[in-house]
C-alpha cells in the first residue's frame, strides 16, 4: 500500500530532557540572549521559582507567583506591569499548565522569549495554543509567538508530584494524543508520536501510583507527556478539548481533572467515526477497546471519572451543551446537541462508556 499524502508542521523548539536538567537554566537563558528574567509560578510553587531565580543569579529580575487556572486576563495584566517596571526581556515558567499559560499570555503581548520548566504532564509547553479567560468565557487561539523557545524537562522535579495531580495531568496528556489520532491533519509521524505517548503514559502511571518516587516510571511518564504535548502542538483539536474548555472557562472546573472525566466519553462519541484511531488507542492501552480502556485506566490510578466530583453543577449541563455546539471544533462525528447532552450526563455521573452508544 502506498504511503498516504500528508503535510507535517514541525515545532521550532529546543528540548532539554533528563534528571538534573534544571541546572542548565542559566545556560539556556544566555543562549536565548535573556539578561533580565521574570520567573513565573503559582503561589504553591514559589519556592521552586525562587530556586530558579537563584540559579539565574543576576539574570533574575524577580519572581511573579500569581499564576492561576485558565489564565485570567487580570492576572496577565498584573504580570505585564511587572515586566514593564523591571525591564524584563524574557520569561521562565516553572510549574504546570497554569504557569506556562501565563508565560504564553505575556509572550503574545510582548514577543518575549520563554523557557518552560514543566513539573506536571500537562503538555502546554509543547504547543502554540493559548487559552485565556475573561468574564467567565474561555477563548483559545494558536499563534507561533506563544510557543516556548526552550523546554527543560527535569525528571527530578516530578518525583514529589502528588498522586492526584500525577493521575489527572497524565490523563490530560493522553487526551492530547487521542485527539491527535483522529485530527484532520494527522499524518504518519503524528500517529507514531501519539501512539507511543499513550503507551508510555499508560504503562508508567500505574507504576507511579504504586511507587510515586520511582525515577524510571517518572522518566517514562515525562517522555510520554512530551510526545503527547508535541502531538497537540501539531494537530487540530476536536470535541474533547472543546468540551473541556467550555467546562473550565464557564464553570471554573479544574483543567486536568475535567480532561480525565470527559475523555472516555468523547472517545465513545467518536468511536464509530474514527475506527483506525480507536484501534491505535486500544493497542497503546493494552485494552480491548479505547473508551472503556481509558475509563479503566483513570479508575486504576485514582483519577476523577465523574464531573460531579470536581464541582460541576448538574443544572449547568444544558448550558454546557449549548455552548459546545454553538462554535464547534472540527470533529470526526458531527456534533449533535442531544447526543452531547447525553455525553455530559454520562460524564457527570461517571458511568463507564460503551463505544458506539453515545
* 177 contact partners, CB below 8 Å, separation of at least 6: 193, 194, 195, 197, 198, 227, 228, 231, 232
pLDDT at 304 > cutoff 70: yes
Q: What pLDDT, in 10s, does the model give residues 127-167?
A: 999 999 998 788 888 899 999 999 999 999 999 999 999 99
Question: For position 135, what pLDDT does the model report?
Answer: 83
pLDDT at 82 > cutoff 60: yes
> What's the full length of the chain, in residues?
358
| Placement of cell 542559566 in the chain | 26
For residues 208-224, average pLDDT: 96
Mean pLDDT, the chain, integer: 94
For residues 29-49, average pLDDT: 97
pLDDT at 355 > cutoff 80: no
Question: For position 358, what pLDDT does the model report?
Answer: 47
- Could you tell me which residue, 76 or 186, shows the higher pLDDT? 76
Q: What pLDDT, in 10s, does the model give residues 260-270?
A: 999 999 999 99
Q: Which band of pLDDT confidence, cut at 50, 70 and 90, is reported for residue 356?
A: low
What are all long-range contacts of 3-7, with beta carbons under 8 Å and residues at least 24 apart? 3/188, 4/187, 4/188, 6/187, 6/188, 7/185, 7/187
Candidates 261, 273, 356, 235; CA nearest to 317 is: 261
For the ranges 66-70, 106-110, 230-234, the maximum mean pLDDT occurs at 106-110
Q: Which band of pLDDT confidence, cut at 50, 70 and 90, is reported for residue 95?
A: very high
For residues 27-51, average pLDDT: 97
For residues 322-327, average pLDDT: 89
Q: Which band of pLDDT confidence, cut at 50, 70 and 90, is reported for residue 116?
A: very high
Share of the chain above pLDDT 90, in %: 84
What are all long-range contacts of 335-344, with beta carbons under 8 Å and residues at least 24 apart? 335/239, 339/269, 340/239, 340/243, 340/269, 341/317, 343/243, 343/265, 343/266, 343/268, 343/269, 344/243, 344/265, 344/307, 344/317, 344/320
For residues 211-222, average pLDDT: 96
Candidates 111, 105, 92, 4; CA nearest to 51 is: 92
CA atoms of 170 and 179, how far apart (whole Å): 15
For residue 5, give the 3-state DSSP assignment. coil
Residue-range domains of the chain with CATH: 14-158 (3.40.50.1970), 163-349 (1.20.1090.10)
* 137 contact partners, CB below 8 Å, separation of at least 6: 249, 250
Distance of CA 15 to the CA centre of its chain: 17
For residues 312-335, average pLDDT: 92
pLDDT at 286 > cutoff 80: yes
Amino acid at each position: 500500500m502506498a504511503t498516504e499524502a500528508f503535510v507535517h508542521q514541525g515545532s521550532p523548539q529546543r528540548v532539554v530532557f533528563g534528571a538534573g536538567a534544571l541546572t542548565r537554566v542559566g545556560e539556556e537563558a544566555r543562549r536565548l540572549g535573556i539578561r533580565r528574567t521574570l520567573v513565573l509560578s503559582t503561589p504553591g510553587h514559589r519556592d521552586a521559582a525562587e530556586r530558579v531565580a537563584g540559579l539565574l543569579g543576576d539574570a533574575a529580575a524577580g519572581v511573579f507567583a500569581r499564576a492561576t487556572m485558565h489564565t485570567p486576563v487580570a492576572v496577565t495584566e498584573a504580570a505585564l506591569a511587572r515586566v514593564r517596571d523591571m525591564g524584563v526581556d524574557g520569561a521562565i515558567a516553572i510549574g504546570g499548565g497554569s504557569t506556562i499559560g501565563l508565560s504564553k499570555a505575556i509572550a503574545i503581548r510582548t514577543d518575549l522569549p520563554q523557557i518552560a520548566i514543566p513539573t506536571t504532564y500537562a503538555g502546554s509547553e509543547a504547543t502554540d495554543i493559548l487559552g485565556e479567560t475573561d468574564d467567565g468565557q474561555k477563548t483559545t487561539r494558536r499563534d507561533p509567538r506563544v510557543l516556548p523557545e526552550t523546554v527543560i524537562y527535569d525528571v527530578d522535579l516530578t518525583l514529589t508530584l502528588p498522586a492526584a495531580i500525577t493521575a489527572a495531568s497524565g490523563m490530560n496528556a493522553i487526551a492530547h494524543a487521542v485527539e491527535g489520532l483522529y485530527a484532520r491533519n494527522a499524518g504518519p509521524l503524528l500517529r507514531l508520536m501519539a501512539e507511543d505517548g499513550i503507551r508510555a503514559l499508560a504503562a508508567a502511571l500505574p507504576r507511579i501510583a504504586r511507587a510515586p518516587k520511582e525515577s524510571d516510571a517518572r522518566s517514562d511518564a515525562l517522555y510520554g507527556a512530551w510526545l503527547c504535548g508535541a502531538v497537540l502542538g501539531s494537530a487540530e483539536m476536536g470535541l474533547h478539548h472543546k468540551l473541556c474548555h467550555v467546562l473550565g472557562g464557564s464553570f471554573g472546573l479544574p483543567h486536568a481533572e475535567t480532561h480525565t472525566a470527559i475523555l472516555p466519553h468523547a472517545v465513545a462519541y467518536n468511536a464509530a467515526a474514527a475506527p483506525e484511531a480507536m484501534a491505535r488507542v486500544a493497542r497503546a492501552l493494552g485494552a480491548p477497546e479505547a473508551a472503556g480502556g481509558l475509563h479503566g485506566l483513570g479508575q486504576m490510578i485514582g483519577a476523577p471519572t465523574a464531573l460531579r466530583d470536581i464541582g460541576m453543577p448538574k443544572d449547568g449541563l444544558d448550558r454546557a451543551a449549548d455552548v459546545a455546539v454553538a462554535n464547534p471544533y472540527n470533529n470526526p462525528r458531527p456534533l449533535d446537541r442531544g447526543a452531547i447532552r447525553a455525553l455530559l450526563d454520562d460524564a457527570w455521573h461517571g458511568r463507564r462508556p460503551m463505544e458506539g452508544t453515545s
